[in-house]
Amino acid sequence: MSVNYLNDVRAEDRTLRELFAIDPSRAQRYVAQLADLRIDWSRQPVTDEVLGSLRSAARTAGVCQRFQALAGGQALNVTEGRAALHMALRAERDATFEVDGRNVMAEVHAELTRMGEFAETVRANPEFTDIVNIGIGGSDLGPAMAAEALVGDALPRLRAHFVSNIDASDITSVLDKVQPKSTLFVIVSKTFGTLETLTNAQLARQWVIDALGESAVKDHFVAVSTAAERVEEFGISTDTTFGFWDWVGGRYSLWSAVGLSVMLLVGPERFAELLAGGRDVDAHMMETLVDDDRLDDNVAVTLALIGLLHRSVLNRPSKAVIPYVHELRRFPAYLQQLDMESNGKSVTSAGMPVTGPTGPVIWGEAGTNSQHAFFQLLHQGTDVIPVDLIGVARPRHNLVTQHDALFANLVAQAQALAFGRASHEEPHRNFDGNRPSTLILAEQLDARILGQLIALYEHIVFIQGVMWGINSFDQWGVELGKELASALTPALSDAGNDIDGDADSATVATVQWYRAHKAR
Ligand code: F6P
């Protein structure tokens, strides 16, 4: 049986309205500046006492020691026998990050230099107008999110497209918009064995060959992978293959060559700023998690513990993330993989059943759109759903009045959620309030601040995984579905192929329905 480190944590009985009445200074005290991020947890149901007990649980769980083990390249991903050293990807060249006693920094920077040289060549070649990134999961969500977030920094000539789905409508809709001679395909797959990516890559390859001939493949395809041999078999030369390492998890890989499409779009300098942003947050982690004494100052720990309070003490199963920055509209989707693939686990690292709930459902949508879709439930639904609200003081555009209105909405939602408004005569107009939110604000959204934001969430997810005793770096839960789908595919494509005799009756019936209706 694993230990539940949060057993002794008692939730706060008083409402947020009461807590602010007793101590208005919480608006200053429960705010921290982490690099360029202003993080405000004053509207969370915590007091010094609650935070004290959460932090002592973190000490008992050995958060500092586990962080040191992570940074030290220990194989924390026990089921795959791998380190999770994504911090090395954004570290300075003269830093030390070791895997199996070997400093990896020279390799990391050698690959960054190769990427940079390649990116400059493509950016200087006016024949290329479109980049098509083909990848899925971590090989798609990070780059797609970052390309959207940094679109204001993109070379005006270049457009980026992201193809991930096995649904051919995804790739065909992109191919309809681009021309073979002006398109560069970036095939991103850590394993180079992912069905969706290989299927789409083959289709794109044939599309290029049909238009330009076989010899054009070398000029229009590059790959990003840890599996160089498979890439070569596919027909992409090692000269245009960018590598990374098995100690980089897919959902932690944006900082590596997996970010190549982003680098092509915004250039190596901006990409370096993204890495610098990640490094800013890592520096805070290193400084404050050297030992237990400074743990109270660690902002990622505080936010992780507040998340644990909701999930493990108050049993709140979901969390919404709402960016009031249009360019961050893919951020919730990105976070879904980061958080749910990392912490959606029910066995501990030691292989024992967990003793309580683990990762919450993460969901969200940009800015005021979400208010007109699901905030009704956030304000008056029967579940309390903690919310992260992300905003900036200065948008990329200069329509200040409109931005004032946007920011007013962010603050108003935090206010309404926390403090509500009583209506005794008309119950349907009653807002109980006492609904928690964390505000993450920055002066603007740029590459460095985006890097800080991503790294902050990465560390929160890690700390929560430590407190739950789970391995945040594997993803076995996605395997069964893949296996069953590939076993079923022959029966769907050809009625002559019988479905596995052991298949359940529901599966058989669905396959039969498909077969009966698929013919046009
Ligand atoms: O199926 C889940 C997953 O393994 C993710 O963890 C990963 O990011 C994604 O598939 C893509 O994998 P690959 O980069 O190897 O194609």
Q: Atom of ligand 1 at shortest distance to CA of 341?
A: 6
Q: Coil, helix or strand for 235?
A: coil
Which residues are registered as beta bridge partners of 37? 34
pLDDT at 258: 98
Residue found by looking up tokens 């990465």 in the block: 458
Candidates 162, 164, 191, 194: which one to mutate for ligand 1, based on the most atoms within 8 Å of Cβ?
Answer: 194
pLDDT at 40: 98
Say how far apart CA 146 and CA 455 lie, in whole Å.
13
Q: Atom of ligand 1 at shortest distance to CA of 138?
A: 8
Q: At how many degrees (to 10) do helices 48-61 and 63-71 cross?
A: 50
Q: Atom of ligand 1 at shortest distance to CA of 225?
A: 14
Backbone φ and ψ of 161, nearest 5°: -130, 150
Catalytic residue of the set 327, 341, 365, 458: 341
482 an active-site residue? yes
Say how far apart CA 233 and CA 271 lie, in whole Å.
30
Candidates 478, 479, 483, 486: which one to mutate for ligand 1, based on the most atoms within 8 Å of Cβ?
Answer: 478
Which residues are registered as beta bridge partners of 387? 320, 437
The strand pair at 361-363 and 387-392 is best described as: unpaired
Residues 6+ apart with CB under 8 A from 66: 76, 462, 466
**How many A from CA of 95 to the centre of ligand 1?**
28
**How many A from CA of 353 to the centre of ligand 1?**
25
Catalytic residue of the set 218, 397, 482, 518: 482
Q: Atom of ligand 1 at shortest distance to CA of 479?
A: 1
Q: Coil, helix or strand for 332?
A: helix
Cα separations in angstroms, 355 against 2, 162, 468, 470 = 6, 39, 9, 11
HSE-CB of 170 using CA atoms within 13 angstroms: 18
**How many A from CA of 431 to the centre of ligand 1?**
43
- Within 6 A (CB) of ligand 1 lie 136-139, 189-191, 194, 197, 250-251, 341, 475, 478
CA nearest ligand 1 atom 6, residue? 250
**How many A from CA of 174 to the centre of ligand 1?**
22
424 an active-site residue? no
Output DSSP code: residue 7: T
Q: What is the DSSP string of 466-513?
A: HHHT--TT--GGGHHHHHHHHHHHHHHH-TTSPP-TT--HHHHHHHHH
Say how far apart CA 232 and CA 229 lie, in whole Å.
5
372 an active-site residue? yes
**How many A from CA of 357 to the centre of ligand 1?**
25
Per the CB < 8 A criterion, the answer to whether 340 and 359 are in contact is yes
Residue found by looking up tokens 């107009």 in the block: 429
Q: Atom of ligand 1 at shortest distance to CA of 135?
A: 16
Candidates 86, 188, 191: which one to mutate for ligand 1, based on the most atoms within 8 Å of Cβ?
Answer: 191
Candidates 80, 82, 139, 224: which one to mutate for ligand 1, based on the most atoms within 8 Å of Cβ?
Answer: 139
What are the residue ranges of helices labelled H in 352-399? 367-371, 375-380
CA nearest ligand 1 atom 5, residue? 137
**How many A from CA of 378 to the centre of ligand 1?**
32
Task: List per-residue pLDDT tens for the chain, 520 residues long.
Answer: 467 899 989 999 999 999 999 999 999 999 999 999 999 999 999 999 999 999 999 999 999 999 999 999 999 999 999 999 999 999 999 999 999 999 999 999 999 999 999 999 999 999 999 999 999 999 999 999 999 999 999 999 999 999 999 999 999 999 999 999 999 999 999 999 999 999 999 999 999 999 999 999 999 999 999 999 999 999 999 999 999 999 999 999 999 999 999 999 999 999 999 999 999 999 999 999 999 999 999 999 999 999 999 999 999 999 999 999 999 999 999 999 999 999 999 999 999 999 999 999 999 999 899 999 999 999 999 999 999 999 999 999 999 999 999 999 999 999 999 999 999 999 999 999 999 999 999 999 999 999 999 999 999 999 999 999 999 999 999 999 999 999 999 999 876 777 877 899 999 999 999 999 998 7
To the question of pTM greater than 0.95 for the whole model, the response is: yes
Cα separations in angstroms, 394 against 279, 391, 398, 403, 451 = 23, 9, 8, 8, 18
Burial per residue of 438-449, b for 16 or more beta-carbon CB atoms within 10 angstroms, e otherwise: bbbbbeebbbbb
**How many A from CA of 270 to the centre of ligand 1?**
26
Q: Atom of ligand 1 at shortest distance to CA of 141?
A: 8
CA nearest ligand 1 atom 3, residue? 137
Say how far apart CA 97 and CA 88 lie, in whole Å.
6
Say how far apart CA 235 and CA 227 lie, in whole Å.
13
**How many A from CA of 333 to the centre of ligand 1?**
15
End-to-end CA distance of the chain: 55
Q: Atom of ligand 1 at shortest distance to CA of 478?
A: 1
Q: Of 378, 382, 390, 366, give the one whose Cα is nearest residue 416.
A: 378
Catalytic residue of the set 372, 424, 428, 517: 372
**How many A from CA of 188 to the centre of ligand 1?**
10
Candidates 475, 476, 483, 486: which one to mutate for ligand 1, based on the most atoms within 8 Å of Cβ?
Answer: 475
pLDDT at 249: 98
Domains present along the chain, CATH in parentheses: 16-82+281-475 (3.40.50.10490), 86-271 (3.40.50.10490), 477-517 (no CATH)
